[in-house]
Structure 1
């Protein structure tokens, strides 16, 4: 009788287990999110004929391409982009209004991930004093953690601290970024008190120096780079140890020991993807019973673009090399996690403008502004008319922050001062619009520019005046590239999904970078992040 009862209980338990298995929420083993810093949308097509079949072409052929993906706010800056992609919110909601912003209570500029309450791990450098605490909303990784009762693992990796920390969110198991002073990956006590052994081992192998010691020559014969300008152009910046910005680039000075830094070369991509593979193995991502999430942000394309510009041979070579790096990474994921067992997407935090020098050489609208000269001119006029010194105490993220104390001491209306400064801004070459931020809602400004400015402004962290610049204009010099504006060259970014739950195809419907988190949450059957304002890109899947 006892035996019959045991068999009956076992049978019932098997039935329960089977029922649970049949009703389990369908999810991939792993989600891999790749952000390519400063990747313009047109790089997918400018270099298409030179890409192999296993990298960008695989994404375009096997994935779902959201070809008209735009950023829904300005300024288009790294910190804002990484936060918006993974929160589904704009800076007005998630609070990351730039890479940094003034904090007048603290009396200094705040790094978007800076945190004086944590300590560096793996370095003595202050670059380790970082956490996601300035992010005001949850991320999709946070919501995945909550949905699985924190069984899912979430890891963030990048060269830049903000690009590792913000995507991974508040509840991440770890975030690792690269410390230039020690040429190693580090973290902070927000995540752990000491580096894992696998990270220590990785750092001990001296991989960055091995990359740099080989120098940087073009992957293919230099005369085959027909999608780029000639190698030696006056609007390209050079490395500090060079006389001219030309190939081959010597990355380490054998006499002085100076090196240009791995992040300024395409080898930074290879370094980061190698580190990502070791993280997958170390944390056994995609090998457990719950979906894991890995965010990887490639910072090197941004550094290369800023220095040489988007029409340089250096940029073309970067993407040809990245294409091969992606092919290798996909091959690894196919073998380790299983093809179609992981969900992958690639996007960018922002694009980039052409160098003013390139635009000038090709008879296109261009210009560049000296920020110091413009601000000094404003200060001079306000001092003369109102007797106020240093009326503008900060200018960042296309916003001006006014000196409230000095204005109050003179007994002058702040509104009057702000209105006068907007008038002066509009007299400055290259400025197309300038508005007092509290009047932005009623501003006579064309859409979608008006909405983008509103979306980029946070009431407690934003400035008193916001402005935009003329198409093709850039702060600073005539060389290199920049970004931060509402224009398509900065706001039009790639977005391709591939793998689990994704049907091959394409949409030309307008989508926004804030739709990424919504879509990912829908695919994973989890709650959208707490500040989410995006919509689901429903075309990319046949899943119910």
Structure 2
């Protein structure tokens, strides 16, 4: 409760050894789960799970770690590690070069911004819909495990997802599931007309109770004693410019719950508590796990708060540390709920993350690491000026949307320049800029990067021939694109961004224990397909995690 504290690629497979299958009873003799729960903690680095594990309570993350399989070397195995791409991987088992989600946003060939789940043909139910709000999975080019589950059951299986972000819900739901997302203006969870024309009665009852208003004028305070946070980065000194200190009080300028108040809930444990409240309402309202047909249901829960907190304060902060502890206690209550409603012996749980996080640049600099905040706009200007001097023509850079650079190929042709020559010159210019570690050109990527380095493999997977830019930039380790002088981000192919938790729990199907072998989030969908005895998604490239199966 709030008051004192909220309790709220190509060639990719070549280097991946496949462990020998563990002895297991025949799949045909094992009853399928009644409910599969797939949880994605947005922006949770694997190292935070391990660093704080001794402080977790008994029923949440600790339960997963002790009673499930813990894959300690699991990765989001693509080079641009952002929310939309990571969520797309979880239940498709595919990489961006196949599934078509190349970022949260990108530019089309005319320079127009595209949002990963936008679709102007649909709108939110009972809520205002902006031009780039997420309303459908139209841009996801592949199917998902949920789609295969519904196909195999004759649509009797239910697939329901919920998230604090529209992309978190929509990309887990696939083509045939039903997604609900947090509305910033009202604090409600709404679906879109892609899925239905009006909400079912259970959703209307949830809205009528207004659970999002219970935090008003209450505060987020640390859950644990001060000594528990002794190894965290110190809070900033008190000032109007640095309000990043406990306690955080939820309020609005109007003096009553309104849009600015609901927005404040997102960078706190409150948004995740509300998400799990809604997930519980969905279990009851849709009878998930108690499907009268006996079919397996799938519940996807994307918990967005940790990403917002890490962006605002950095993963080294006391706020990030406490947020994970608060989330752990709320997950424990969620598991207790599932045990009462369905029975945890009938539930298979998977928990992972869409990406990790770098430390704030200033935190890294204090530890003598050359971390930079790279101004992409200034970088583009320098590149265009240098190309103009080199080729004696103007404006060869069409657009920049980091880490992508879009060249003006029409101008290149008009000036009778060679495409590859301009690309190579641009790459050399960019490589000389502070904070840039590598640059790959369209010509290189179309031919296939090859080579044995992990970085080249991950960047090749991240690039889509039809959608991506003409130069793909890789910042130096611990550097990132963006301005300002506070907060943290993610998006690179480095371990701090790719290494995420992967936990699977379900005593009938999953062998408990630590699994140290290299694993990918793309392995989740094929593994669940094996357990559920359904066809894997068409574009899945992951493997079945046989070492964790009973």
Q: TM-score, normalised by structure 1?
A: 0.90
Give the superposition deviation at 1:183.
Answer: 2.2
Q: Say whether 1:453 aligns with 2:459.
A: yes
Alpha carbons 1:122, 1:185 under 8 Å: kept: no
User: For the residues of structure 1 that align with 2:523 and 2:407, how far apart are their CA atoms?
Assistant: 34
In structure 2, the partner of 1:472 is 478
In structure 2, the partner of 1:271 is 274
Alpha carbons 1:268, 1:299 under 8 Å: kept: yes
2:510 paired residue among 493, 502, 510 = 502
The structure-2 alpha-carbon separation of the partners of 1:414 and 1:169, relative to structure 1 and needing over 3 Å to count, comes to: same
In structure 1, the partner of 2:21 is none
User: For the residues of structure 2 that align with 1:40 and 1:431, how far apart are their CA atoms?
Assistant: 23
1:290 paired residue among 286, 289, 295 = 295
Q: How does 1:27-426 map to 2 (within 5 A)?
A: 27-104=32-109, 108-126=112-130, 130-172=135-177, 174-232=178-236, 243-253=242-252, 258-259=260-261, 260-288=263-291, 289-386=294-391, 388-396=393-401, 398-426=403-431
User: For the residues of structure 1 that align with 2:542 and 2:109, how far apart are their CA atoms?
Assistant: 32
Alpha carbons 2:236, 2:242 under 8 Å: kept: no
Q: How does 1:426-441 map to 2 (within 5 A)?
A: 426-440=431-445, 441=447
SS of the residue corresponding to residue 248 of structure 2 reads coil
> CA RMSD for the aligned pairs?
2.1
Q: Say whether 1:462 aligns with 2:494.
A: no
SS of the residue corresponding to residue 266 of structure 2 reads helix
Greater C-alpha radius of gyration = 1
User: For the residues of structure 2 that align with 1:301 and 1:25, how far apart are their CA atoms?
Assistant: 36
Unpaired runs of 5+ residues, structure 1, are: 1-21
User: For the residues of structure 1 that align with 2:241 and 2:64, how far apart are their CA atoms?
Assistant: 37
Alpha carbons 2:423, 2:441 under 8 Å: kept: yes
In structure 2, the partner of 1:535 is 543
Give the superposition deviation at 1:210.
Answer: 1.9
The structure-2 alpha-carbon separation of the partners of 1:163 and 1:129, relative to structure 1 and needing over 3 Å to count, comes to: closer
User: For the residues of structure 2 that align with 1:110 and 1:171, how far apart are their CA atoms?
Assistant: 22
User: For the residues of structure 1 that align with 2:209 and 2:281, how far apart are their CA atoms?
Assistant: 13
SS of the residue corresponding to residue 510 of structure 1 reads strand
SS of the residue corresponding to residue 249 of structure 2 reads coil
Give the superposition deviation at 1:345.
Answer: 0.7
Q: Say whether 1:484 aligns with 2:488.
A: no
SS of the residue corresponding to residue 264 of structure 1 reads coil
1:516 paired residue among 524, 530, 546 = 524
User: For the residues of structure 2 that align with 1:29 and 1:250, how far apart are their CA atoms?
Assistant: 41
User: For the residues of structure 2 that align with 1:458 and 1:291, how far apart are their CA atoms?
Assistant: 34
Give the superposition deviation at 1:225.
Answer: 1.3
The structure-2 alpha-carbon separation of the partners of 1:191 and 1:253, relative to structure 1 and needing over 3 Å to count, comes to: closer
The structure-2 alpha-carbon separation of the partners of 1:243 and 1:492, relative to structure 1 and needing over 3 Å to count, comes to: closer
Q: Once superposed, which parts of structure 1, at least 4 consecutive aligned residues long, lie more than 6 Å away?
A: 22-25
Alpha carbons 2:402, 2:481 under 8 Å: kept: no
Alpha carbons 2:420, 2:443 under 8 Å: kept: no
Unpaired runs of 5+ residues, structure 2, are: 1-26
Alpha carbons 1:69, 1:513 under 8 Å: kept: yes
Provide the aligned length of Structure 1 versus Structure 2. Answer: 514
Which string of whole-angstrom CA distances, capped at 9 and with x for unpartnered residues, describes residues 26-67 of structure 1?
Answer: 311000000000000011121112111111111111001111
In structure 1, the partner of 2:7 is none
